[in-house]
Structures are given as C-alpha cells and as structure tokens.
Amino acid sequence: MTTLVSKWNYPTTVRFGAGRIKELPEVLEAAGIKKPLFVTDPGLAKLPTVANTLKLLDDAGIAYGVFSDVKPNPVEANLIAGIEVFKTGGHDGVIAFGGGSGLDLGKLIAFQAGQTRPVWDFEDVGDWWTRANSDAIAPIVAVPTTAGTGSEVGRAAVVTNEETHTKKVIFHPKLLPAIVIADPELTVGMPAFITAGTGMDALAHCLEAYCAPGYHPMADGIAVEGIRLVFENLPKAFADGNDLTARAHMMSAAAMGAAAFQKGLGAIHSLSHPVGALYDTHHGMTNAVFMPYVLAFNRGAIEERIIRLSAYVGIEGGFDGFGKAILKLRNDLNVPHTLPELIKGLDMDDERKSLIADMAIVDPTAGGNPVELTKTAALKILQNTIDGT
C-alpha cells in the first residue's frame, strides 16, 4: 500500500495516497484560501470522516463555515442556499468534500457566487463559458469520498433544473479544483451499493470516452488503463470495503474517467441523465443498467476498438466476450439488469418514454455516441433496457 502514494499535476495538482487528508491545512494555504466554506452532503456530514476532517481545521486554527444542504443529484435551490452562506460568511474559497454531489455543488458555489448571470447561462454549450466573469471565481480544493464521478479533476459540474426536470452540465475551465486530496481511506465507509454504482460510473466514463469518435489518443490511453483498473479492483473493493489497495486503484480509475471524457461521452449518459432527473436514481447505477444495451446498440461502430481494448484488459472472446465480461461484472456487483429492477414499481407509458428519448437526444453527451442517437435509437435502447433484451 505504501507505494500507492504520489503527486500528479495532471489535469490539476493531485495529492494521492492514504492518510493525506491531514495535509488539508497546508493545501488550503497553497490554494490561497484563508476562510473556506466546507461543502458536503447531509449523509456524510453525520459521519466521523467529516468530524475528523473539521478537527484538522480546528487544530490548525482555520476559521471555516459548513454547508451540507446538498441533495444527491443536487438542485438549483441547494446552490442558491450555498451561495448565500458563502457570501454572508465572507468566505474566500471552497472545500468541496464528498461524492459527485458534494463536489459539484461545492465547485458551483465557488464559481457562481461572483457571477451576475443565472447559472443556466453557463451550460456546457459551445463557448457559453466565456460569458462568465473568470476573475470572480473562488479557488476550490476538492476531496472525493466516492470513487466514480471524477468531478475532483473535472471542469464541469452537474445540477438539476427543477423547473424543467433536467440535469444540466455547467462548464468552465476554472471549475477545475486548484488542488485535490485523493485519499482512498475516505472511501472505505462507502456502502456496497454506492461502491458498485460509483465504480460503474468510472467504468462508464472510461468506456464511453474510449468509444467516442474523434482523434484523442491521450484520452484513449487513459481510458483503457482506467477500464483495466476497474475490472481488476471494483469486485475487490465491493467484496471487502477495507481493501485499501483496491480502493486506491478505484480512486485512480475515477479520476482517469473524468480526464478521459473530455473526448466525449455517449448514449449511456444521454439516457441516464433524464432517468436520473425524473426518477432521482443514483447516477452511476443508472449508467450501469444502460451499459450493455448501449454497447450492443453501438456494436457496428465499435467492434474493432472493443477487440483491441479486450486484448489489453485480458478479456477473451472478442466483442461478445467483452459483453459477457460486463454482464458478469454487473452481476457480481448486484447491479439491476433492467430499469424496472432499478426503479421499483416502474410503469412507463409511451408519453414518458417519448419524453425521455427527447431529453436524451438533446443531452450534451449525445453527440459523443459512435452511432447517431436519433429519437428512434433512444427509444429502442430504452425499450431494451426496460425489457432486458
């Protein structure tokens, strides 16, 4: 375990290794933050991991505020409330502490507190990010407690618009945290369901990035090693949550997924976003449910790539072998095979299916799918995921 300690400067500064959370006070100083707002979610706020982290700040004599009104799948109301606390507390930076929800909301508070335009003006569309006042963005220190979203090394944050029931991806280069503490010990307490869902999220990021069309060999290289790490370590972390080596490799795989998906994502995410927004399902677990159906749908465009990937990961049997390996991994992690198994009592009428397909094809991730995601295609994948066919 001692060898799994490192400092990376890609795509930002990452202090990686078990126990490194104790470096938080010096990290704040390095980031130029004197009075941080510590942002997390209410579930984590009750756990000793948060109390222990806040004690580090107390012991260092750092004045801070805490904001934990963050829903899983955070909503705009959380952001508005967080900005209020940030401003009234006179904070000059954010410690974003948590899974994707706490990380994204923390990042968005630091970003949006100094802006005059509504957050929806900074959606990940074209060059909309240039509308922002870049000088007014407060520095962010990110501390992931799940191993999935990779938001700690990403320039985007996801927030749900409750008026339109849509998950919106907000993008700005300065949403990239200044410094990350990636301490796998913080992920040890994750329940098995969250370990599985977040780990499958990391896999979905790597896989969709790798399959996205376009020339980006850097992203491809990161993605294939990320996929290998997930196959090798996610079952171990799921079986034994205290396996720190597996937890460390999963934390790397999560960051690698986010570094890779600047190349693009695809239909797994395009469909998972509306389902998550409408049914409040866990993001990574929803991705995991859609994964084999999207892979099968894309086969014609990705077969050769998947065969190359399989050779690297050590999976035999060509495209079909890879498909079977995904199904086995899902099965080993108790991932539901169909949407009705994920969403108990699901009864989707044609109108609802049509709405999901409409939302999927305009999702910013749809353009990265290797086969054009038409409405007919989205409806077909959705139906297969309902029927398990």
Contact set with ligand NAD (CB under 6 A): 41, 43-44, 47, 72-73, 98-102, 104, 145-146, 148-149, 151, 154, 156-158, 167, 186-187, 189-190, 194, 198, 201, 258, 283-284
Helix (H) or strand (E) holding 340: helix 339-342
Where are the extended beta strands (E) located within the chain?
A: 6-8, 13-16, 36-39, 65-67, 93-98, 140-144, 156-161, 166-171, 179-182
CA pair distance 149, 157, nearest whole angstrom: 10
* Comparison of 272 and 310: residue with beta carbon closer to ligand NAD: 272
* Comparison of 47 and 85: residue with beta carbon closer to ligand NAD: 47
Q: How many CB atoms lie within 10 A of CB 341?
A: 12
* Comparison of 44 and 379: residue with beta carbon closer to ligand NAD: 44
Indicate the residue whose CB is closest to ligand NAD.
100
CA pair distance 45, 349, nearest whole angstrom: 39
CA pair distance 194, 247, nearest whole angstrom: 13
Quote the crossing angle between the two packed helices 217-239 and 318-332, to the nearest 10°: 40
Residues 149 and 269: beta-carbon distance below 8 Å: no
Give least dist CB 194 to ligand NAD, A: 4
Largest CA distance in the chain: 60
CA pair distance 203, 295, nearest whole angstrom: 13
* Comparison of 199 and 323: residue with beta carbon closer to ligand NAD: 199
* Comparison of 104 and 220: residue with beta carbon closer to ligand NAD: 104
First to last CA, the chain: 42
* Comparison of 41 and 220: residue with beta carbon closer to ligand NAD: 41
* Comparison of 68 and 310: residue with beta carbon closer to ligand NAD: 68
Give least dist CB 294 to ligand NAD, A: 16
Give least dist CB 159 to ligand NAD, A: 8
Q: Which residue in this structure is represented by tokens 């997930």?
A: 230
Give least dist CB 383 to ligand NAD, A: 24
Give least dist CB 314 to ligand NAD, A: 27
DSSP-derived pairing of the beta strands 93-98 and 36-39: parallel
Q: How many CB atoms lie within 10 A of CB 226?
A: 28
CA pair distance 9, 164, nearest whole angstrom: 38
Give least dist CB 21 to ligand NAD, A: 12
* Comparison of 201 and 315: residue with beta carbon closer to ligand NAD: 201
Give least dist CB 110 to ligand NAD, A: 14
Give least dist CB 228 to ligand NAD, A: 20
Residue 14: C-alpha distances to residues 10, 181, 313 (Å): 7, 6, 26
